[in-house]
Amino acid sequence: ASAAGMAAQETERDHVVIFPFMAKGHTIPLLHLAVALSARGLRVTLVTTPANSPFIRHHLPSCCHPAVDILTLPFPHIDPLPPGVESTDGLPSLDLYPAFLHATALLRRPLQHLLTRLLGGAARPPLCLISDFFLGWTLPLCRRFGLPRLVFHGMSAFSMALCKSLWVHQPHFTSAASGDHRLPIHVPGTPPSLLLTLTEVPDAIRNAANTDDPVTQYLNELVDSDISSWGMVVNSFAKVDGDYVRLLESFYRGGARAWLVGPLSLFAAPESHAHECLKWLDGKDRGSVVYVSFGTQVHVPETQLDEVAHGLVQSGHNFVWVVRSESWVPPDWVEKRGMIVRDWVPQRDILGHVAIGGFVSHCGWNSVLESLSVGVPILTWPMIAEQQLNAKHVVELLGAGVRVGGAEAGEIIGREEVAKGVKEVMGGGEKGGKARERAAELRRVAAAAVAEGGTSDRALEELLEELRRANS
Ligand code: UDP
């Protein structure tokens, strides 16, 4: 095709602009959404910052080029952020999160220029901007350009609906004031049988009464942009989250809808098969290895890493364990039974390897979906944010996992409990066996959801139809 012909083709395609938040767990699912949209013939522009663009480029399959463009905005360097850090995964402490969010808000002006350029004279303006919850400042810009803003949270509809209800109705304040943290909390809008304890309420929501707190104030602003958005894109599927969509939508203004278009990881191309741990797994029996990862945000104390090491060895199972700590040195005997990896691993490919029988996970929502989409049951070990809610979802509602026992949230979990939990999730007990069956069933349902005519496939098509109508 001639260059002019190709350019004409480009202007005929529908175009979507996506701006992910700079944390791996928020970026990865939106990359997969870009792949899904480009497979439907759409043109996608991904907006990011210079230091994040190599990761994005590396994780986009070549089949997407040139339908996915990556455009960068210069990341402002402000104190006390370490120079060069443009992603929350590189922050030495979660205390720097507010400063990081503040820096991202300074991208407003450059984004305005970029949108002016993208929209100026375009025969077909973009259908929408999909931007992360943390980038709430994109909403007024979208309004200025007459562009619908879809918000993306990286969370399940279940967790989002519960968080919104807790934020608005604050039923947990009674439990907090009573001093009895085990007092059951009923979240308005949810079935009477679903009860939370205070430790299951995310920290930011527990602090919501403290309106003098700058983080609370900032969150209030984000929530306001969030609920005023045109709609939301949710990385989930009807079977897992359908019961909570209505409740979630009820907190939004103007009849905004939640579109469940996942699991988005099922749109991704396979990752690099060259990684050494995949070769190592090739030599292991089916379902014999446990995969252990606490995600990209959590810093696990070294005393806890010691207990995990002992527990894994005591369980008698082989393991692949991703460790983020740079200083922690495992005892020699640990690596006789398993593999400790410190660099970036192809997690989806590991979970999809036949040798993997269970996943010890912090329950970041991507990890949960990636595991269930390939039928791997989870030993839930939630730590921060909404991970406690995800763990509850997996164990109590979906029945596809078992809990690690032995400690209140935030306390060190001992080696015996780790060993016991690993044995259970690897199928050693009745609960583990049931979780394995449920995970296998969810694998089939997830595949059906994204296949042609499935719930997520239809939701994505309806969303695009609705956007075309909104723009016509
Ligand atoms: N991930 C990966 N390799 C790693 C670490 C993480 O592929 O070495 C991916 C993982 O597959 C998931 C994302 O990073 O897609 C982490 O998101 P999640 O919501 O599970 O947890 P978070 O890191 O945001 O707490």
Distance 76 CA to ligand 1 centre (A): 25
This prediction's pTM = 0.95
pLDDT tens digits, one per residue of 380-409: 999 999 999 999 999 999 999 999 987 676
356-361: strand order across its sheet: 338-341, 318-322, 289-293, 356-361, 378-380, 401-403
Position 406 scores a pLDDT of 76
Residue 342 CA, ligand 1 centroid: distance in Å: 13
Q: Which one of 347, 356, 390 would you pick to mutate in the ligand 1 pocket, going by the greatest count of ligand atoms within 8 A of its CB?
A: 347
Ligand 1, residue 347: give the atom nearest the CA: 7
Q: Which atom of ligand 1 is nearest to the CA of 346?
A: 7
Looking at ligand 1, which residue's alpha carbon is closest to its atom 7? Answer: 347
ipTM of this model?
A: 0.99
Residues annotated as catalytic (active site), given as ranges: 26, 132
Distance CA(278)–CA(30), nearest Å, equals 25
pLDDT score recorded for residue 139: 98
Name the residue type at position 389: L
407-450 residue pLDDT tens: 676 789 999 999 999 999 998 899 999 999 999 999 999 999 99
Nearest-atom index, ligand 1, CA of 265? 15
| 88 touches ligand 1 (CB under 6 Å) | no
* Cα 293 to averaged position of ligand 1 atoms, centre (Å): 8
Span from the CA of 297 to the centroid of ligand 1 (angstroms) = 9
Does the Cβ of 300 fall within 6 Å of ligand 1?
A: no
pLDDT of 120? 86
Taking 70 as the pLDDT cut, the residues of the chain under it are 1-11, 64-66, 272-273, 407, 409
